[in-house]
Amino acid sequence: MTVAEITTIVSNKSTPELHEQVEIFIRYYVTSEMFGDKERVFDDKAELNTWLHAKTTRMVPGFRKKYPELTDKQIYRKNKKNINVEGVKELNIGSGQPYPAGALSNFAPHPFTIDGVDCASMEGFLQALKVKDVNMQRHVCTLVGREAKAAGAGRNWKQKQQLYWNGDVYKRDSQEYTDLIERAYREMFKNTGFRKALAASGKATLAHSMGGRKKSDTVLTRREFTGMLTKLRSEL
C-alpha cells in the first residue's frame, strides 16, 4: 500500500480527539525510513483496518504509559526506524500492543503454508494442533486472532498430552513436537510482514507476559514463543 492510500484510510477514520494519534501513525507507521521510503508495514487494507480498530485510540497514551523513559521529543522524532524500540530494553508482545509488538503476536494475520496446508495465522495453526480431525484442523488453520483462539477452546488434549498434525500424533513434551513448531515458524518467517515486524523489534528483549509457563498447560509456552522469535530475528 502507498503512503497516500494508507493516509486516506486513516484520515477517514479520524476524529478531532484522535488527531494526535493519527499524526503519530502517519509519521511512524507510514513514512518511517524503516520501511523503505514507499514500502508499508501493512500488506493490505484488511490488515491495516484490523490494526486501526484495536490500536489507534490508545496508541500515544500507550507509549507514554508503557515506556515512561521516552520523552515527547523521542516519541515525535521524525524518521526513526521504530519508536517502540527507541531506548526500550524489553518489548512485550501481544495483540493489543502497538507495532511491532502487536504484529509479532500469534494473532496477527501473517499467512504461510506448511505441509501443503494454508494457514492464515500462527494462532490458527497452533489451535489446529488440538483438533484430531484433519478436515476440521485445516479449517481452523484458516482462522485468525480470537476466532482461531475460540476454535481451540475446550479441546481436551491436556489429559493425554497429545496434539495432532496431518493425521499424526505428537506428544507435547517431545522433540518431534518442538521440531514441528519450529518448522511452522520458519514457514511464517518467509512472510514479508512478519519479517519486517521482527526487524522492527531491533535488539529489544522479546517478552510475552500473557503466555503460559508450563508445557503441560499450553501448546506454546512464553519461553518457547519468545525463544523462537529471538532465534529467527538473529537470522535476519
- The pTM is what? 0.67
The pLDDT of residue 55 is: 47
CA–CA dist 146, 93 (Å, integer):
16
* Percent of the chain predicted with pLDDT > 70: 62
Mean per-residue pLDDT, 76-90: 49
Task: Evaluate if residue 106 carries a pLDDT over 60.
Answer: yes
Task: Evaluate if residue 4 carries a pLDDT over 90.
Answer: no
Mean pLDDT across the chain, nearest whole number?
77
Sorting pLDDT into bands at 50, 70 and 90, what band is 200?
A: confident
> Is 31:69 a contact under the CB 8 Å cutoff?
no
CA–CA dist 58, 38 (Å, integer):
26
The pLDDT of residue 212 is: 87
The pLDDT of residue 34 is: 39
